[in-house]
């Protein structure tokens, strides 16, 4: 079992729709969770961090965390073509007091006009 | 406020040569992480350094790879006797000391090509 798994995609949504990206993790003691966006040929860019169960909203982005189910998701409302990128879920596993990130494989999102 | 800087952005080496990748963290950041992204693969942690100290090198291959973050100057990731399998994008990330040290900001990366 992979430590961090993401739905493989690619995911294609029409402009204006909600894009839903999912991630599960194996280490039940993980405490810190992140979503990064990576455009082709570019570096990862931090979109959201979440530490507590529930929802966290920032503009068009909402991160959802459910520690009991070991599940974290990212919703993108009113998707735009500029949102087309690879989305990376990252986790800091238990027993780590610093920012050693374990990444999922990424989900490729395409938003078509 | 300049972001994380890496150079060179592209590096071409022949098999057996040495590659030196440099990373200057954001101003005020004293924690540096190196990650590698192989073609068609995800990002993998390599090493975590603070000034003059290697804290965690569990993701770094035991042979040919080394990293340092001296008191003055950038962090260096050094790959000796490169092989084709070292071709990848190498990203550096930095974070500040104290609270919030788990939030990292990535540099633009160095794309290493081994011929």
Tell me: pLDDT of B2 over 90: no
CB pairs under 8 A between A and B: 57
Please state the length of chain A: 113
Q: Looking at residues B19-26, what average pLDDT do you find?
A: 96
Min Cα distance B26 → chain A (Å) is 14
DSSP string for A60-73 = TEEEEEETTTTEEE
Question: Nearest-CA residue of chain B relative to A104?
Answer: B42
Per-residue pLDDT tens for B57-115?
Answer: 999 999 999 999 998 899 999 999 999 999 999 999 998 877 556 788 999 999 999 99
Tell which residue, A86, A63, A84, has the closest CA to residue A17. Answer: A84
Identify any residues that bridge with A71 across adjacent strands, giving them in sequence order.
A24, A66
Q: Output the tens digit of pLDDT for each of chain A's 113 residues.
A: 679 999 877 999 999 999 999 999 999 989 899 999 999 999 999 999 999 999 999 999 999 999 999 999 999 999 999 999 999 999 998 887 788 899 999 999 999 99
Structural contact between residues B112 and B19, judged by C-beta atoms closer than 8 angstroms: yes
Closest to B54 measured CA to CA, from B75, B84, B79 = B75
User: Per the CB < 8 Å rule, is A100 touching B33?
Assistant: yes
Instruction: Give the pair of three-digit tokens for residue A66.
Output: 């459910």
Of A77, A99, A91, nearest in space to A24 by CA: A91
The Cα–Cα gap between A77 and A68 comes to 25
- SS3 (DSSP) at A81: helix
**Which of B37, B45, B102, B106 should we substitute to test contact with A (largest number of A Cβ atoms within 10 Å)?**
B102
Residues of A in contact with B33 (CB under 8 A): 99-101
For residue A103, list chain B residues with Cβ-Cβ distance below 8 A.
Answer: 35, 42-44
Q: Tens digit of pLDDT for each residue in B43-69?
A: 999 999 998 899 999 999 999 999 999
Residues of A in contact with B31 (CB under 8 A): 98-99
Yes or no, beta carbons of A49 and B91 under 8 Å apart: no
The pLDDT value recorded for residue B100 is: 56
Q: How far is A11 from chain B (nearest CA, A)?
A: 17
Strands of A71-76's sheet, edge to edge? A4-6, A19-25, A71-76, A61-66, A54-58
Q: Are A34 and A48 in contact (CB under 8 A)?
A: yes
> Are B48 and A42 a contacting pair at CB < 8 A?
no
pLDDT of residue B76: 98
- What count of Cα atoms within 13 Å lies in the side-chain half-sphere of residue A48? 25
| pLDDT in the model for residue A59 | 96
- Tokens for A9, please give them: 């995609």
Query: How far B49 CA sits from the closest chain A CA (Å)?
Result: 11
**Share of residues in chain B with pLDDT > 70 (%):** 96
């Amino acid at each position: 079992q992979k430590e961090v798994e993401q739905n493989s995609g690619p995911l294609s949504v029409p402009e204006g729709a909600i894009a839903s990206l999912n991630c599960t993790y194996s280490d039940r003691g993980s405490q810190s969770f992140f979503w990064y966006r990576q455009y082709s040929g570019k570096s990862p860019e931090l979109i959201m961090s979440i530490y507590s169960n529930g929802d966290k909203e920032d503009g068009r982005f909402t991160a959802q965390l459910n520690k009991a189910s070991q599940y974290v998701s990212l919703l993108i409302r009113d998707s735009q073509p500029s949102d087309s990128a690879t989305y990376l879920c990252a986790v800091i596993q238990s027993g780590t007091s610093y920012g050693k990130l374990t990444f999922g494989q990424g989900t490729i999102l395409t938003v078509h006009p | 406020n300049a972001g994380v800087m890496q150079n060179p952005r592209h590096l071409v080496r022949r098999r057996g040569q040495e590659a030196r990748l440099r990373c200057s963290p954001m101003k005020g950041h004293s924690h540096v992480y190196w990650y590698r992204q192989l073609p068609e693969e995800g990002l993998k942690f390599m090493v975590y350094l603070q000034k003059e100290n290697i804290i965690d090198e569990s993701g770094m291959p035991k042979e040919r790879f080394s990293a340092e973050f001296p008191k003055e100057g950038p962090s260096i990731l050094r790959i000796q006797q490169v092989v084709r399998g070292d071709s990848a994008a190498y990203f550096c990330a930095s974070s500040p000391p104290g609270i919030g040290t788990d939030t990292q900001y990535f540099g633009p990366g160095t794309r290493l090509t081994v011929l």
